[in-house]
Chain A
Amino acid sequence: MAKSKLSWLVPATVIGALVPYLSIVWRWSQHRLGANPIATALNQIGLLALIFLVLSLSCTPLKIAFAWTWPLRIRRTLGLCAFFSASLHFLVYLVLDQGLAVPTVLEDVLKRPFIALGFAALVLLVPLAVTSTKRSVSRLGFRRWQLLHRLAYAIGVLGVLHFYLRVKADHTQPIMYGLVLALGFLLRGAAKLKGTRDARFRASAARPESV
């Protein structure tokens, strides 16, 4: 408790992240997900994964723009939520949507660019989730750990492309997420150029847990 005034922030993030899942389960049980509930759940869980991903990638830009430090405290939690959601999205696709038809799924992954991109994003999330602990930072050494976790940028781009290519006609939503991501990259780039990333900032911004 004495650690910080914001000790409630991470638990609140975890509880908040569970709400949309409880909502999906509840609406499914009430037949509120429509005539094709599997497709609706699949789409909503996939979108959740992208939202968490974009949120976790927005923590550093928020720090740059407003000098807030609290977003950095929930960055790891948000990243893990993205991994959890992406995994669940894939499981719903594999088990409920495709009925465990592994050959069809393999063919989908190899033949369809949008599925290949989404699958690549999920695969790349695995090493980041595995090395999300404080111990991993010291085991890998901060430099190497940081380099590895820059993969998150690529994963964000893959996620947006996956969504963009899936949509039939109205691309508003994937473009919005792409813009948020691009704005974050821009802020990072600007901060780097200006050299505002002094040693102190780097120490507080780049580690998964600075407290």
Chain B
Amino acid sequence: MRNLPRPPASSEITPRDLYARRREFIKSGALFVGTSAALGAGLTSLSSLGSADAPATPPPLPSAAPGSAPWRVDKRGQFGTSETQTSYQDITTYNNYYELGFSKSEPAALGFRIKTRPWTVRITGEVERERTLDVDTLIRWFGLEERVYRMRCVEAWSMVIPWLGVPLAALVMKLAPTSRAQYVRFTTLLDPEQLPNQESNVLSWPYVEGLRIDEAMNPLAFLAMGLYGAPLPGQNGAPLRLVVPWKYGFKGAKSLVEIRFQEHEPETTWSRAAPSEYGFYANVNPEVDHPRWSQANERRIGELSRRKTLPFNGYAEQVADLYRGMNLARYF
């Protein structure tokens, strides 16, 4: 008897019902963990659908596209601003380019699909001579100029962007439009291979924008080919895009394949999709609200608080005369 082990104290004995429930306890624990994880993952992915994350590392500055004209800046500083320039990362990862995706981050992931060389632009309509221009011809004709412009999106955010390109007025002069050319129409590439969202019919493709000829001749109007001293990445509208800094950003048609001079006002993509929300003129105007939000102020990307929006995005001195006598609430 002396050698037998001592029986365990009664306090050490697992109660019978708990012993019987140990499997259930383990099962419940597993179900708890599994359910929370599955629900959490589902909720996280559903709620971030359509707003995919920005890349963790900033995209590298691209070098000049192979086969493109020598990439050097010949002129700097016209209409410049001393405001802090938006970072290269923000300019190239926060884009509205619906043909590459509806979210702000998708275009940066798909911008590489645009084959920027060789690239030609058709010049058509009321001009001395219709022709097809190689995009690098523009650099040979005019050289590259840097313009630091404010960019105000219709969605009430803004950036300061150091563009590189050629003044639109110089090109218009060179192409010698006829007296019947009252408007200029700008057309984006139509190719679902390179711009996959053109498979969807959310907007009518190709994207079309337009300017009055006197707007196109204004010294501010610009054709951008680069950004921060390097060629444009696809998501910013490579290889050639329109920049009209006194108008909302959607006027700046990207990846241009045709510039057409015509007598009548062109029908533009957004004003066709929602005529009560987006007009042909689309001049930045804090007095005329978008039907769904105020245009009185804006968030400058990188800043926490909002700032007041300026008439014509701060370029009234250069462009207000173009619209003298016009009712800007009607021609918005």
**Chain A residues within CB distance 8 Å of chain B:** 5, 7-9, 11-13, 15-20, 23, 27, 30-36, 38-40, 43-45, 47-48, 51, 96-99, 101, 104, 107-108, 111-114, 165-166, 168-170, 173
Contacts and interface: CB of A to CB of B under 8 A. Distances in A.
Contacts of A11: 32, 36
B133 to A, nearest CB: 31
B292 A34 contact: no
Contacts of B38: 16
B173 interface: no
A33 B53 contact: yes
Interface string B39-81: 1111110111111011010000000000000000000000000
A166 B301 CA distance: 21
Contacts of B299: 36, 38-39, 97
B28 interface: yes
B98 interface: yes
Nearest to B18: A1
B294 A107 contact: yes
Contacts of B37: 16, 19
A99 B47 contact: no
Contacts of A113: 292
A12 B32 contact: yes
A84 B50 CA distance: 23
Contact of A36 (B48, B98, B301): B301
Contacts of A169: 98, 102, 202-203, 273
Nearest to B40: A19
Given A11-B32, A20-B43, A173 B53 contact: no
A170 B47 contact: no
A13 B39 contact: yes
B36 A27 contact: no
Given A8-B28, A169-B98, A35 B302 contact: yes
A19 B292 contact: no
Contacts of B29: 8
Contacts of A8: 28-29, 31-32, 35
A187 B41 CA distance: 28
A173 B47 contact: no
B116 interface: no
B236 interface: no
Interface in B276-332: 289, 291-294, 296-297, 299, 301-302, 304-306
Interface residues of B, number: 53
Contact of A20 (B44, B98, B302): B44
A101 B294 CA distance: 13
Q: Which of A18, A20, A33, A101 has the most CB of B within 10 A?
A: A20
A45 B43 CA distance: 11
Given A5-B24, A43-B51, A108-B294, A35 B301 contact: yes
Contact of B53 (A9, A34, A47, A48): A34
B262 interface: no
A195 B305 CA distance: 56
A104 B297 CA distance: 10
B124 interface: no
Contact of B43 (A34, A51, A97, A165): A51
B93 interface: yes
Nearest to A38: B299
Nearest to A96: B304
B207 to A, nearest CB: 12
Q: Which of A12, A98, A111, A165 has the most CB of B within 10 A?
A: A12
B205 interface: no
Interface in B1-40: 24, 28-29, 31-33, 35-40
B44 A19 contact: yes
A33 to B, nearest CB: 7
Across the A-B interface, give the 7 residue pairs with the lowest CB-CB distance, nearest first. Answer: A19-B40, A16-B39, A35-B94, A35-B90, A8-B32, A12-B35, A15-B36
A169 B200 CA distance: 11
